[in-house]
Structure 1
Amino acid sequence: MEMHRLNIWIPADLAFYLKERARQERKPVNQLVADLIRKERMGGLHDSLQPLVTTACLEALNQARSLLELQSRLLALQDFLTEMKLRQERGYDRLAALVIRAIREGGLARRLAYATLAKDDPDFALDAYNDAKAKVGKDLASRFSEEDSV
């Protein structure tokens, strides 16, 4: 860096201040003055950049807050969906258990009705069983054909 000599007159109290501060900081007076001028020039730059930096920081903070809010909403939605999935699985398990129980109860009722009818008249019991079986088959077939046409 090229150096230039600058002869200036300043008030005595300011000159004394510069000499005293240079002694405290253990620097030559010319280096202290150069540092003060550099600091002032950077201060002007700092003052002009401060609003821009502040705006950028505030925007970044707002984005971070928005992201945190979205993250918390997504976590809540994920918890809700997990709970609904568990309830759905429990519902399917319960439905399967009820269907199995209905099939078992229907089988028991059929065997009991057949056994009761067979005590008095085994031929009548066999005919009643075959008739019921045929009617149930027709009823199921007609229900499936109705669903297909809808």
Structure 2
Amino acid sequence: MRALVQRVSQAGVTVDGAVTGEVGPGLLVLVCAMQGDTEAQSERLARKVVNLRIFRDEQDRMNRSLLDTGGQALIVSQFTLAAEAKGNRPGFSTAAKPEDGRRLYEHFSAQIASHGVMVANGIFGADMKVALVNDGPVTIWLDTEAL
């Protein structure tokens, strides 16, 4: 699985003009299941995300995790993280099939919540509008193949 993790002051997602999820300080996590991904990879990625020390401590150093800060997480599915851009038109053939992608997205979101994090979500497969205030900015790319 792949995730693009952004430390945010606030973030929200709307579908057809209606807010489906919003958070205050915490993380916006764009997540993509790849072909062959499993629940175990989803769980490993969730543990990495909630324990990633990218929040400031008292000395203004990135030394605190989402769990340490009590921050929230907005989880948004984004199959375009699977893009292969060798040419000018990206291909997405390495992304999981929609039914697998949905299952792993929902499992990932539930795993984040199981750590006691307040989770908000986008809608899988919908045309979403995502707004955020990136704090820092801090943006981290994670791939379970490299964890």
> Normalization by structure 2: what TM-score?
0.21
Structure with the higher fraction of residues in strand conformation = 2
